[in-house]
Amino acid sequence: MKLVLATHNQGKVSELRAIMAPAGFELIGFDGPEPVEDGVSFLENALIKARSAHKQTGLPAIADDSGLQVDILGGSPGIFTAVWSGTKDNVANRRLLLAQLKDIPAENRAASFVCTIALVSEKTEVSFTGNWLGSIAFEERGTNGHGYDPVFIPEGFDLTAAELEPEIKNSLSHRATAVSSLMDYLKSNDVEL
């Protein structure tokens, strides 16, 4: 089954292809004009992107909006994860987060990655959300992954997400959970796209 993936983030393209390809889903990267993401939730922003890609290509489109929520920061950076430092610079974003949590002890550094993925086609519009619980490290570690992976320690691990093998991360992550639910939906329902 062919689906358009609406994103300009090549890390997401690689990650989602690795998760979906074994199940027989072909992702076509769509890197057209970026719509304005003015939603106030991950769901609203995912739908904005998927609707735009579907409208421009005529193909079933998926898009995700995801981010990091840190408990002690009231759920921030949330939908502002990619621009937390005022730029789309991952290094600057991570450094700002670590500086904000500098004096916070390990027991108060709980966080979660959240991913909402939306599917939009002529006949359907659905969404699925995945959460990956963990905490924020005291320093960056690891070179696998992207975004906040070097500072996120998944629950049950001593390693950051950037220190995990990609296969492990791709089976446990917030995005993997949301995409797995999407694939189950596509396989178990006689969905007409």
Q: Which residues are catalytic?
A: 65
Give the neighbor-by-neighbor strand order of the sheet with 125-136: 26-30, 2-6, 61-70, 110-120, 125-136, 152-154
Q: Which residues face 29 on adjacent strands?
A: 5
According to DSSP, residue 114 is labeled E
Report helix angle 174-188 to 10-20, nearest 10: 50
Rounded CA separation 46/115 (Å): 9
DSSP string, 117-171: EEEE-SS-EEEEEEEEEEEE-SS---SSSSTTGGGEEETT-SS-TTTS-HHHHHH
Q: Please name which of 183, 30, 7 lies closest in space to residue 82, comparing C-alpha atoms.
A: 7
To 10 degrees, the CA torsion angle through 49, 6, 9, 167? 120
